[in-house]
Structure 1
Amino acid sequence: MRIAVDAMGTEKGVGTAVEGALKAAEENRQIEVILVGDREKIEKEAGRLHLEELPFPVIHASEVVKMDDSPSTCLNKKDSSIAVALDLLREKRADALVSAGNTGAVMALSLLKLGRLKGVKRPCLAAVFPTINGGKVVLLDVGANVDCRPYHLFQFAVMGSVYAYKILKKRKPRVGLLNIGTEENKGNRLTTQTFKLLKDSSLNFVGNIEGGDITSGKVEVVVCDGFVGNIILKFAESFARTTLNVVERGAEKALFGLGGLISREWRKSLRKDLDYAEYGGVPLLGVDGVCVIAHGASSSKAIKNAIVTSFEFAKATINRHIESSLSKSGEVRDEIKRDSDSRNGVLYSQQGSN
């Protein structure tokens, strides 16, 4: 499985991407890494790691998309590492892409170069969280779409269910709609209309769930718009860091004896559950290719895990299953047509119309 890795995207430098790629290739011999970026800088990092040459190919890209680049600037950098890596994916010279670069650029260029899967109206970003019962839950959208319509959220639920089935190995994943209450009539126009679509579908929809239920283990898929989802994602990352810091400070009082040993083992387990590096990156669902976006501040461990995630994604042929599942979702077609014909109202903005 050939994984194109954007070596220029991480805030911590090229070396982080190189080390992560080496770890992934060493851990899984089925992974064939292709590093994309400034060849001179990549080879310099190989020398720093005392390697005569890297065990995988390097494709040169002369430009880098910066985190603060505008959308137009990103699109105009034709030879950026993100653009070149996506070209490899489009030309079937790679099976997946991993980038820790500008999220907006990865999404925009993915749509431009790869296009959407058949039937998909809006691609979305999916994040995986641990649950209190030792399981996992996928939350989507976590940032790709600020303004959504009911059928967008319906499709997120379909894509999330496929992801939970193929990656989390849940035979019939339970779907919850994130809301301010569990009653059917709770929420705004978006959530009440989405509730109707989900209720009448063949998905395993269990109803509305509140924020406190996301990691409760009650569901495997949580659906919301990207505005809400991104806030949850950023808060979760911040809360995880705060929790780990509080635990570290408290553990200083139990450094010796049996209490210290238990504390160290417990902290190690907690860090594994809460550290975003363990999850690597978030997949961009709905584009015609496998794209995993890692955190800009990713460590080599996070890059390694993002590469592993992209390998699992590609191996599971999730995109073909998404297309198949959407083609069977005929119950929303009339709703899509009706909604497309009426774009008035406070909820829907011209910015979000496509």
Structure 2
Amino acid sequence: MKILIDTFGADAGYKITIDGAIKALEKRKFTPVFVGNEENIKEYINSRISDYEIIHTDNFISNNEDPVRAIRGKKDASIVLAYNKLKEEGYDGLISAGSTGGLLAGGLFIGGRIKGIKRACLAVSLPSLTDEITLLMDSGANMDCKAEMLYEFALMGKVFLENVMNVDNPKISLLNVGLEEHKGNKLTKETYGLLKESDLNFIGNIESRDLFTSKSNIILADGFDGNIALKTAEGVLKLFGKELKNILYKSSKNKIAGALIKNDLKKLTEKFSADEVGGAPLLGVKSYVYKAHGNANETAFANGILGLMDYIDKDVISKIEGELND
């Protein structure tokens, strides 16, 4: 299996993507295809691995650029080169920590949409108090949506969870300002009606305070609301972690107490760590694509690569196409 790795976009630079690939190779065999500056990549690999390829470019799409214009105008940008390479035989998937808009635009205009799908979306796996899996769809790819799009997100999420995560008949909910059916704006009310009349396992509205409570396997939202909810939750978790650390180091007595619950704290931290997931699939395009976190470290990036390969193995795109044609 050949996995295209965009070496641009990570906050910590290209070295994280290379270290992540090498770390992933410790768990599974594949051929990394690095897209970026050839000299820097070769120098940093430094013979640590031998089976790899490089597609050279110094160009990339930044978060400040208009993604559609950049995809069409920057033919040698890393994401553009990677998407075009995916069209060739033998190249299986793409992972990038770069521009979300660029990744989405490339999927739509180069990779192409799955027939019957209006928009692609990012399905981010949320941390949970239990072992239940929860996806937030969309988490930032589409700022403006129609009810039909959210319905499609639900359908794609169902297929992904059933085939990749082994979740039977996943519970689907709609992110809203209240639990009652009449609550919300025009989009949520119209979406509620579509989901209520569908054959999907729709359990109604859910409020953002229940993002991590495992009440639902799929939480639907447009990219604007979903991204705000996600980043608010991330900020609160980081703040809580920082304050907890300050308390534990405040006195000798607290340090002793911290030492006694060290293992439990470590398990709690791991449960709510983005590193364990590493990224999110871009569902709705005809290419296997994973979006890694911009602030990913090597562990998170490695887990993103492993998640992408599992996504490919389960032939999810064909199964989504089959679901739409039933």
Same fold (TM over 0.5): yes
User: How do residues 91-130 of structure 1 correspond to structure 2 at under 5 angstroms?
Assistant: 91-130=88-127
Provide the residue aligned with 2:149 in structure 1: 152
Provide the residue aligned with 2:35 in structure 1: 36
Alpha-carbon offset, residue 55 of structure 1: 3.3
Q: CA separation in 1, counterparts of 2:274 and 2:168? A: 26
| Unaligned residue ranges in structure 2 (runs of 5+) | none
Q: In structure 2, which of residues 318, 321, 324 is the aligned counterpart of residue 320 of structure 1?
A: 318
With over 3 angstroms needed to count, the CA separation of the structure-2 counterparts of 1:255 and 1:23, relative to structure 1, is farther
Provide the aligned length of Structure 1 versus Structure 2: 323
Could you tell me whether the CA contact under 8 Å between 2:247 and 2:254 is conserved in 1?
no
Q: Are 1:187 and 2:177 counterparts? A: no
Q: CA separation in 1, counterparts of 2:10 and 2:100? A: 11
Q: Are 1:17 and 2:17 counterparts? A: yes
Q: CA separation in 2, counterparts of 1:55 and 1:250? A: 48
Alignment identity in percent?
35
Deviations 1:162-181 (A, max 9, x none): 12212322111011111122
SS class of match (2:261): helix
Alpha-carbon offset, residue 93 of structure 1: 3.2
With over 3 angstroms needed to count, the CA separation of the structure-2 counterparts of 1:184 and 1:260, relative to structure 1, is closer
Q: In structure 1, which of residues 50, 56, 62 is the aligned counterpart of residue 52 of structure 2?
A: 56
Q: Are 1:278 and 2:273 counterparts? A: no
With over 3 angstroms needed to count, the CA separation of the structure-2 counterparts of 1:265 and 1:52, relative to structure 1, is closer
Could you tell me whether the CA contact under 8 Å between 2:173 and 2:218 is conserved in 1?
yes
Q: CA separation in 1, counterparts of 2:89 and 2:115? A: 18
Could you tell me whether the CA contact under 8 Å between 2:159 and 2:316 is conserved in 1?
yes
- TM normalised by structure 2 equals 0.93
CA RMSD of aligned residues (A): 1.8
SS class of match (2:26): helix
Q: Are 1:207 and 2:204 counterparts? A: yes
Q: CA separation in 1, counterparts of 2:48 and 2:222? A: 48
Could you tell me whether the CA contact under 8 Å between 2:275 and 2:297 is conserved in 1?
yes
SS class of match (1:27): coil
Could you tell me whether the CA contact under 8 Å between 1:123 and 1:284 is conserved in 2?
yes
Q: CA separation in 2, counterparts of 1:70 and 1:103? A: 11
Q: CA separation in 1, counterparts of 2:168 and 2:144? A: 31
Instruction: Give the letter aligned to residue 12 of structure 2.
Output: K
Q: Are 1:67 and 2:57 counterparts? A: no
Deviations 1:61-104 (A, max 9, x none): 24222332333234322112211111121223311100011111
Q: CA separation in 1, counterparts of 2:149 and 2:62? A: 30
Q: CA separation in 1, counterparts of 2:211 and 2:12? A: 31
| Unaligned residue ranges in structure 1 (runs of 5+) | 329-354
SS class of match (1:16): helix
Deviations 1:147-173 (A, max 9, x none): 111111111111111122123221110
Instruction: Give the letter aligned to residue 61 of structure 2.
Output: V
